[in-house]
Amino acid sequence: MSEDFQWNSERHDAFLAERFERMLNEGDHAYFDAEEFEAIIEHYQDHFDAQHIRLAIEHAIRQHPDNVQLRIRYARQLAIDSRFIESLEILNKLEVTEPNDVDVIMTKGTVYSMMMEYKKAVDTYKSALPLVDEEELEEVYATIGYEYENLGNYEQSIRYFKKALELNPGAEPLLYELGLCYELVKKPEEGVQYFQDFINNKDPYSIPAWFNLGLILQQMDLFEKSIDALEYVLAIDDTHVPAHLSIAHSWSNLGEYTKAINVYEETFVHEKPEAMTHYYIGECYEKMKDYRNALVHYNKALELDDKLAEPWAGIGVVFDEEGNTKTAVKYLSKAIELDPLNAEYFLIQADMYIKMKHFEKAEACYRSVEEFDPNDQDLWPEYSNLFIVTGDYERAVQVLRTGLTYQPENVAIYYRLVVAYYLNNNPIQSSFFLTSALEMDFNAHYDMLDYYPDILNSSLVSDLISQYMFGKLK
């Protein structure tokens, strides 16, 4: 019965629109009451007919200049047309005569948001809170949450999304948005607690809650627990492709590449193969040193999307591993062309240039990263390696000291300074930075030993490590 009503309503609205257009074409004057104009405007909105929306609103305002709802629609259309000042003038006048009209206040907030005046939008939406009915409260809370996202204030976004979800736990888009906010504020423990409580107390079958829980656990490197949470998503809906992909990512991070490949391939049952999925499969094969299959999937990725940088870089890495560094460099150049602000690609290419003894080109790569991402965690240790390889230990020290100005907490820079000062015949500075590094992260000294095992030839270094180890054991 409701479908019949909707069909008749749509038919009636279409009839009104035909009558309106006939009036326009014939240059005639026909009367429509305010409700009929609203139906005509909504008909054109449903058909994305911007020209007729404007014409309908103009005629509606002429015939009903004091109708509040039509004037609100007029203000909205002015804002859509970027005529913000005119829109706000109408809304401000309406606020004087209709101070408790929620539609006026919410429209005004929307206009401020469109103007990117997000703080004013928040304040305006908040002024509507005492006026809205309970069934509308969820929408206002959610809208405020989105505006706080625009302001980059994700803590407040979380607060208001939670308020909205208290009123409507079934609002799935808000659950996904909340998960994103927890990621952005870097408070994974709070996120885990919230979604666990949501599952236990509100909805044990909530796909967004289980999915967000799985993603947050993955961000915490708790990959087995992440897989467990994401498996619940698939138990509820086995076609949920993002859950499949996230499970595969976790298996890959656990070094279970065959399992990861199997899960990635399961997604092809539920959706057309995606270029990125083939890239991920290729990456798994690459890590298994199955370079033939890695190339197969990297090339499949490029067949689907040759503007994707990742498979170009992946092919380059494979060629490099197979000893064809000259060809590998060309593929990295293509990846950099497609993604010119990806520090990893520059660092990989720099390493290739060092292998080829093209040291100036390697330095150019490092300088590029220094310009656009000096906070990349790998940049400064790898940059210093160029000068350690070429025997310019003083330059290696200079590079690392520069890196410390950007990243004073990066323990890898400290350990690399231990090596650089040792090679530069400065044992005092070498031991000074080793003491600091051991205090910061003792286990990271194994990476230093992997990089330069001969550092243990220094009795100062070996004694400090032994003393620190003994002290830790005590």
pLDDT tens readout for residues 90-143: 899 998 888 889 999 999 999 999 999 999 999 999 999 999 988 899 999 999
pLDDT above 90: residue 40? no
Do residues 170 and 203 touch, judged by C-beta distance below 8 A? yes
Which two structure tokens, joined as six digits, stand for 230? Answer: 């994401």
In a domain, 205, yes or no: no
Q: Is residue 258 in a domain?
A: no
Domains identified in the chain, total number:
1
Encoded tokens for 236: 């509820």
Query: Distance between CA 332 and CA 311 in Å, rounded?
Result: 10
181 inside domain: no
Q: Is the dihedral of CA 258, 261, 266, 269 positive or negative?
A: negative
Residue 360: how many CA atoms within 13 Å on its side-chain side? 0
The pair of structure tokens assigned to 78 is 């002015």
The pairs formed by 16-19 with CB atoms below 8 angstroms and a separation of 24 or more are 16/40, 16/43, 17/43, 17/44, 17/52
Burial (CB count within 10 angstroms: exposed 0-12, middle 13-18, buried 19+), residue 397: buried
Cβ contact 53:38 at 8 Å: no
Alpha-carbon dihedral angle through residues 17, 19, 24, 28, given to the nearest 10 degrees: -150
CATH of residue 410's domain is 1.25.40.10
Residue 381 near residue 416, CB atoms below 8 Å: yes
* Residue 395 is assigned to a structural domain of this protein: yes
Q: Is residue 462 part of a domain?
A: yes
What confidence score (pLDDT) does residue 377 get?
96
Nearest partner of 32 among 46, 18, 45, judged by Cα: 18
Examine residue 454 and state whether it is found in any structural domain, yes or no: yes
pLDDT (tens digit per residue) in 402-430: 999 999 999 999 999 999 999 999 999 99
The pLDDT of residue 1 is above 50: no
Greater model confidence, 264 or 9: 264
Question: Model-level pTM?
Answer: 0.82
Q: What is the pLDDT of residue 42?
A: 77
The answer to whether position 404 is within a domain reads yes
Residue 473 has pLDDT above 70, yes or no: no
For residue range 348-357, what is the model confidence (pLDDT) as tens digits?
999 999 999 9
Of 49-63, 189-203, 226-240, where does mean pLDDT reach its minimum? Answer: 49-63
| CA pair distance 396, 383, nearest whole angstrom | 8
pLDDT in tens, 68-87: 888 888 888 888 888 899 89
Judge whether 431 lies within some domain: yes
Range of the domain at 427: 374-474
